[in-house]
A = this chain, B = another copy of it.
């Protein structure tokens, strides 16, 4: 997005955990602040130096340490790129439990530090469940070795959980032990056009019941997002006739162990949806080939790129109750209209898409250019809306540098006080990634 510019005069690229330990000890003794950096693909400025901190890059720690094909447990250096780990486990018929757009550059240590969500969360759960162990260098250089490969270990407090999502403010993750699921033998998808957003929830219930354990994605795209994706060449799945009168779209993906069984379940679902007395959908298109499968996904995944091509995006990654998705998008549009900001020279589009199964809405506001009055109209407005639903102001992107001032919309003062106490216990000199997460 190009919204963050950092500057730092020093970048260190240690090759071993021992070196990370020596660097942190040295820095801690001298009160020199450190910003850990992985693939630098975050969206909230979590890995950007704000005051000439030393940058510690994990890029040179990029070896797989161990993989057990029976249990599927992988132990890797923090600097391993997600895609390379995916490639590593593939010949053993396993997949990584996370997948996200930035997989070609993001690193597993950064994924864990930011508690990355992504496209597989619905199926495989969050990293709090799939990460089995961590090796972390604490700010004073002490190495915390909890790099266990055990699925079950109830021996005291699960300290490693604190580092999952701490965005590098409590220590530097140097090694990750993670459970990789068996690779599905078949994947299918279908795109459904819905006459009204009101149908999304009953549709989700029906799909969950019928597809059960093979459901691997249930993604929502509103009409504006769809039109922009198509406009900017991100796949064209449906005919003009198909999309007539569609208020939004849902992409359903299945992943399972036997293609024929999965296809039968998906066809039965589509038939029952189309033949219902009061159909929840206008139409649905099943992918018939790997190319079509990818092209349906391109529609959903391409929204990000389409939005960037269309203008300057303001991006909000929020969790709100499923039933309020459309109200939040429409409400934001009306709010901007009421401020006189909804026109060609200010905000061009307000759109929503995201992971229905996770309650995660990506709310995008596409402007002609970044303007202070737009920013002022959006914040704290959106945060207040989220707070009124007891939602999350950052479902998966984190707090970073960008949202520290807004943390209180999702966490009350008791929680924030506890976070500060924990920060103080682990990093009393405040050298770890200052200005991130907590103000």
Whether B93 lies near A209 (C-beta < 8 A) is yes
Digitize A374-401: 1 where CB-to-B-CB distance is under 8 Å, 0 elsewhere. 0000000000000000111111111100
A57 at the interface (CB under 8 A from B): no
> B212 to A154, Cβ gap below 8 A?
no
Closest to A44 in B: B154
Question: Does A270 touch B at the CB level, under 8 Å?
Answer: no
**A353-380 interface code vs B (CB 8 A; 1 in, 0 out):** 0010111100000000000000000000
| Known interface pairs A159-B422, A258-B265; A126-B142 also in contact (CB < 8 Å) | no
Please give the distance in Å from A114's CB to the nearest CB on chain B.
Answer: 7
A159 to B148, CA, bound (A): 21
A146 contacts across to B, CB distance below 8 A? 415
A416: B residues at CB distance < 8 A: 156
Which residues does chain B contribute within 8 Å of A104, judged by CB atoms?
none
Across-interface contacts of A425 in B (CB, < 8 A): 421-422, 425
| B419 x A204 contact (CB < 8 A) | no
For A126, what are the chain B residues with a Cβ–Cβ distance below 8 Å?
Answer: 129, 151-152
Of the stretches A80-88, A164-172, A189-197, A240-248, the one at the interface is A164-172
Q: Measured between C-beta atoms, what is the minimum distance from A246 to chain B in Å?
A: 22
Given the known A-B contacts A69-B205, A161-B162, A415-B159, are A154 and B256 also in contact in the complex, defined by CB atoms under 8 Å?
A: no
User: What 4 pairs between A and B have smallest CB-CB spacing?
Assistant: A129-B129, A212-B257, A161-B161, A153-B392
Measured CB to CB, the residues of A under 8 A from B are: 69-71, 93, 114-115, 117, 121, 125-126, 128-130, 138, 142-146, 148-159, 161-162, 164-166, 170, 182, 184-185, 201, 204-205, 208-214, 255-258, 261, 264-265, 319, 321-323, 355, 357-360, 390-399, 403, 407, 410-412, 414-416, 418-419, 421-423, 425-426, 437-438
A–B pairs, 25, beta carbons within 8 Å: A117-B152, A117-B154, A126-B151, A128-B128, A145-B415, A148-B390, A149-B321, A150-B391, A151-B319, A151-B359, A152-B358, A153-B410, A155-B393, A156-B416, A156-B438, A158-B162, A159-B419, A161-B162, A211-B257, A212-B257, A214-B257, A257-B265, A418-B426, A422-B422, A422-B425
